[in-house]
A and B are shown apart, each in its own frame.
Chain A
Amino acid sequence: MAAGPYNYSYIFKYIIIGDMGVGKSCLLHQFTEKKFMADCPHTIGVEFGTRIIEVASQKIKLQIWDTAGQERFRAVTRSYYRGAAGALMVYDITRRSTYNHLSSWLTDARNLTNPNTVIFLIGNKCDLDAQRDVTYEEAKQFAEENGLMFLECSAKTGENVEDAFLDTAKKIYQNIQDGSLDLNAAESGVQHKPATPRITMNTGVQPPNKEGCAC
């Protein structure tokens, strides 16, 4: 009881992007509910889900914003990149067109998020290997060329779904530990909840090693 589901030390904000029908909402559902949602309706605008995970024995709350893939929502979904600590870029391994659009998604993600945002490439529907249209190798190469993390997942079977979300969180956490991610204000997509009450209200959390140069 004392631990409770609300006892966490960080909040990471994620955004899931990618073409329509690649299974973004299903991935989120699989991750938060551990269930596959057949006949998932089109997302209207944006939806969100949360789950608490543990990285390096730190409880982290993931706040995941799932965007609509339809083109007509693009203007709306663009507003949600702001302040995401992690971006999951999804394509469908059975549809080449969704893979071909990745570069435009990547451009969006790079332009609209901060430089520290961890971008994770996900090739979804890897359970449909027979209908594969994009090979693992070329996607892997694309990911390496662009400095992305990469996994092939299946929202249906749940394969690798957990890993994709966790690996992203690990990377973000590592960035925090390295000091490359500034924990300043909500816009970094990461929020730290210190155990002791905060004294400074307006500057938000600052890692101790930064305090010296803050002024």
Chain B
Amino acid sequence: MADKEPGDVASTPASNNPLSRKLSKILETRLDNDKDMLEALKALSTFFVENNLRSRRNLRSDIEKRSLAINEDFLTAFQAVKEQLDDVYSDVQAMNECCLDMTNRLKAAKAKTHHLISQTTSLHNESQKLLVKEQVAHAFLDKFQLKPDEIKSLRGTRDGALQPDFFKALSRVKQIHSDCKFLLRTNHQTAGLEIMESMALHQESAYERLYRWTQNQCRLVTQDTPDVSPLLCQAMEALQDRPVLLKYSLDEFGKARRSSVVRGFIDALTRGGPGGTPRPIELHSHDPLRYVGDMLAWLHQASASEKEYLQSLLKSCSAANVQLDEQLGHITQGVCTPFKVRVEQVLVSEQDPVTLYRLDNLLKFYHHTIGQIVNPEAALLSTVAEIQDLSHRMFFNSLTSHANKLLDKVELPRSDLGPTDSLTQSLQLLRDVLACHDASVVPIDDKKQDYKQVFHFSGNFGNSRHIIWLRIFRKYFCLNCISMLTTLKSYYYNMVNCIHLMNTTLALYEFTDTRLEMLNAQTDAHVDTLVSEQASYILNRVGLAQMYGTLQTYKTEQGPISSLPGLDELAVKSAVNKFDSYLAQPDSLTLPQFHLILSSTVRESATKRSTELICQAYRQIYIAVLDPTHGYKDGPAVVPRTPEQVVHLLC
């Protein structure tokens, strides 16, 4: 307030006066706007309670005191803060030290462990490698070593029984053994060799076991129907690698089957079926065909069955056909002897050629049929062939003896000049034989061959039918000539008739063409003789024979024919007259034997040809008589008929 006054004073008079300026400044001051001032004044008003001098005088110091007190307060307050901060600082300091220390220690530790880590890493890598190696080794062992259970199944049980696993193990052993070859090609030769050796040992012992087992099994197949188990088939398949063992096993099988087949055969022969049906085969031994046929049918069926069993046994073996055939031959060998003995007995005691021939055909048929099942070398087949050969011989023997019996009978041609009884009989025999041939069971190809044998000269059997007939004919001829009981002429008639009979017999059968041709040629030859015989007979009877005979040999130097003795005009004329009467009745001068020719075709052709001969003879005579050089004065009167007329009359 004090300042105010001076200010007011100063401003008024002179504004340039500092005081006035100060005053105006104060005056210009607007207290409302000065917030600081207001605050300060408010704060002042709190402790400036009493407005008196003393207090006005002391105001400054009060304010200063107050300010000092406040600052002291501040100081003490900040003193605490400072102390606190100092503490924090020291703490941080300690921590820092600690950290540093740790860092140092860590650094030291790190330096120290560095070596260890690198060692660990290298060890780790090593272990990785080892792991891989282990896997490889495992794989190797898996591939090249047997597992314990495999070894066990290979060793098998004590009783020798075989498990299906055995074959798996065996094939593994084989596989390993062959895989070793790859090993040998690489650097692992020692291992390869060792493994190979051990596998070979395993294999050997396994095969030995397998063989023993198979052999035992094979010995057991003696039933009527053998039980070919899948295991046995497998065993056979496995044994293929040991051909010798396979062969021995098969031999064992064959032996067992062989005895079983023999037993079955004997049973069928002697015991028959259950309760006697079907009846034993031997019950029919009185009927050779049925007896032998039944036996053969049984053998056929048995060999077919045996082949099936063998096939089922060897079904998984490749290329075992040779062995199969061989074994089948062996199996069927056993029945050969009992069979052969029986059939031989039948054949030897059989007399009838027809039955023998039937048996022969039957055997031939079965030789063919059984030959389709067993191979050609089999004993059974050769036995059948042997027996068939025997039956063949027996047949021809019996045929010969029959023929001989017929030949032994002295037989003359019959009065009617027909075929003799012996010929008829032998032809009947032939017919029977051929009839059963027709009904035979042999395939067509064989049949033709067979016919040949029956008809032709046979290299093996020099006494075929044909020869027998030749002998019969030859015998007639001799008989006729020696005894002179009958003329040659009759013989020819007889011959023609015999041949005709043969002809008609043979014509009924196949494959007889060549034979028929031969017979026809023979007939023709005989008929030629008959024809000239007939013609000369007629010429003789009418008296023209001399004339005709002269004409055949006539030569001009002999002079005219009419001058020759017996050929004068008169004689010729009477002969021609006689001939004329023959022309009226041509049949009157036919030889009686002519009518006895059985074959009408032969008869007709013979008649025709003899007539032609007569006509020809007449023509020659006619020409000769009319020829003026021969001295027949009245030619046309001697031979009134022209040859054409004669032909006309006779034909």
Residues on A close to B: CB < 8 A? 1-7, 11, 44-46, 48, 50, 63, 65, 71-73, 75-76, 78-83, 112-115, 182, 184-188, 191, 193-194, 197-198, 201-202, 204
Kindly provide the distance from the CB of A204 to the nearest chain B CB, expressed in whole angstroms.
6
Contact status B296-A79, CB under 8 Å: yes
Given known A-B contacts A4-B230, A114-B273, A184-B274, A65 and B301 have beta carbons under 8 A apart: yes
Given known A-B contacts A44-B443, A78-B290, A2 and B224 have beta carbons under 8 A apart: no
Contact status B230-A76, CB under 8 Å: no
Which of A4, A75, A79, A113 has the most B CB atoms < 10 Å from its CB?
A79
Contact of B274 among A5, A7, A112, A187 (CB under 8 A): A187
- Kindly list chain B residues whose C-beta atoms are within 8 Å of the C-beta of A1: 230
Kindly provide the distance from the CB of B498 to the nearest chain A CB, expressed in whole angstroms.
31
Contact status A185-B293, CB under 8 Å: no
Contact of A197 among B220, B290, B296, B365 (CB under 8 A): B220
Q: Nearest CB to that of B373 among chain A residues?
A: A48
Contact of A80 among B164, B220, B274, B301 (CB under 8 A): B301
18 A/B residue pairs, CB under 8 Å, sorted by A: A1-B230, A2-B164, A44-B443, A46-B369, A63-B305, A72-B438, A73-B441, A76-B293, A79-B293, A79-B297, A81-B278, A82-B294, A113-B278, A114-B275, A185-B224, A187-B267, A194-B227, A197-B220
Contact of A45 among B222, B263, B273, B441 (CB under 8 A): B441
Given known A-B contacts A76-B293, A112-B278, A46 and B223 have beta carbons under 8 A apart: no
Contact status A82-B278, CB under 8 Å: yes
Main SS at interface, chain B: helix
Contact status B294-A45, CB under 8 Å: no
Kindly provide the distance from the CB of B266 to the nearest chain A CB, expressed in whole angstroms.
11
Q: Nearest CB to that of B231 among chain A residues?
A: A2
Contact status B443-A76, CB under 8 Å: no
Q: How far is the CA of A83 from the CA of B439 in the complex (A)?
A: 26
- Kindly list chain B residues whose C-beta atoms are within 8 Å of the C-beta of A50: 308
Contact of B298 among A45, A79, A184, A197 (CB under 8 A): A79
Q: How far is the CA of A7 from the CA of B220 in the complex (A)?
A: 17
Given known A-B contacts A46-B369, A82-B294, A187-B278, A201 and B443 have beta carbons under 8 A apart: no
Contact status A188-B274, CB under 8 Å: yes
Contact status A204-B228, CB under 8 Å: no
Contact status B233-A76, CB under 8 Å: no
Chain B 203-250 residues near chain A, CB threshold 8 A = 220, 222-225, 227-228, 230, 233
Closest 4 CB pairs of A and B: A187-B273, A79-B297, A184-B274, A114-B277
**Does B289 make an interface contact (CB < 8 A)?**
yes
Residues on B close to A: CB < 8 A? 164, 220, 222-225, 227-228, 230, 233, 263-264, 267-268, 271-275, 277-278, 281, 289-290, 293-294, 296-298, 300-301, 304-305, 308, 312, 315, 362, 365, 368-369, 438-441, 443
Contact status B277-A115, CB under 8 Å: yes
Additional pairs, 20, CB under 8 Å, beyond known A7-B230, A76-B362: A2-B230, A6-B233, A44-B368, A44-B441, A46-B297, A79-B293, A80-B301, A81-B278, A83-B273, A113-B277, A114-B277, A182-B275, A184-B274, A186-B224, A186-B264, A186-B268, A186-B273, A187-B268, A188-B274, A204-B223
Q: How far is the CA of A121 from the CA of B351 in the complex (A)?
A: 42
Given known A-B contacts A76-B365, A187-B273, A204 and B224 have beta carbons under 8 A apart: yes
Q: How far is the CA of A71 from the CA of B440 in the complex (A)?
A: 10
Contact status B230-A71, CB under 8 Å: no
Q: Nearest CB to that of B273 among chain A residues?
A: A187
Q: Nearest CB to that of B263 among chain A residues?
A: A202
Kindly provide the distance from the CB of B235 to the nearest chain A CB, expressed in whole angstroms.
14
Contact status A201-B223, CB under 8 Å: yes
Kindly provide the distance from the CB of A119 to the nearest chain B CB, expressed in whole angstroms.
15
Kindly provide the distance from the CB of B108 to the nearest chain A CB, expressed in whole angstroms.
76
Q: Nearest CB to that of B297 among chain A residues?
A: A79
Contact status B278-A76, CB under 8 Å: no
Q: Nearest CB to that of B223 among chain A residues?
A: A198
Given known A-B contacts A44-B369, A188-B274, A204-B224, A76 and B439 have beta carbons under 8 A apart: no
Q: Nearest CB to that of A192 among chain B residues?
A: B225
Contact status A197-B227, CB under 8 Å: yes
Q: Nearest CB to that of A3 among chain B residues?
A: B230
Contact of A75 among B223, B268, B293, B308 (CB under 8 A): B293
Kindly provide the distance from the CB of A122 to the nearest chain B CB, expressed in whole angstroms.
22
Q: How far is the CA of A185 from the CA of B224 in the complex (A)?
A: 7
- Kindly list chain A residues whose C-beta atoms are within 8 Å of the C-beta of B369: 44-46
Q: Nearest CB to that of B369 among chain A residues?
A: A45
Q: Nearest CB to that of A198 among chain B residues?
A: B223
Kindly provide the distance from the CB of A45 to the nearest chain B CB, expressed in whole angstroms.
5
Given known A-B contacts A44-B441, A79-B296, A6 and B228 have beta carbons under 8 A apart: yes
Q: Nearest CB to that of B227 among chain A residues?
A: A193
Kindly provide the distance from the CB of A183 to the nearest chain B CB, expressed in whole angstroms.
8
Q: How far is the CA of A138 from the CA of B222 in the complex (A)?
A: 48
Q: Nearest CB to that of A82 among chain B residues?
A: B278
- Kindly list chain A residues whose C-beta atoms are within 8 Å of the C-beta of B268: 82, 186-187
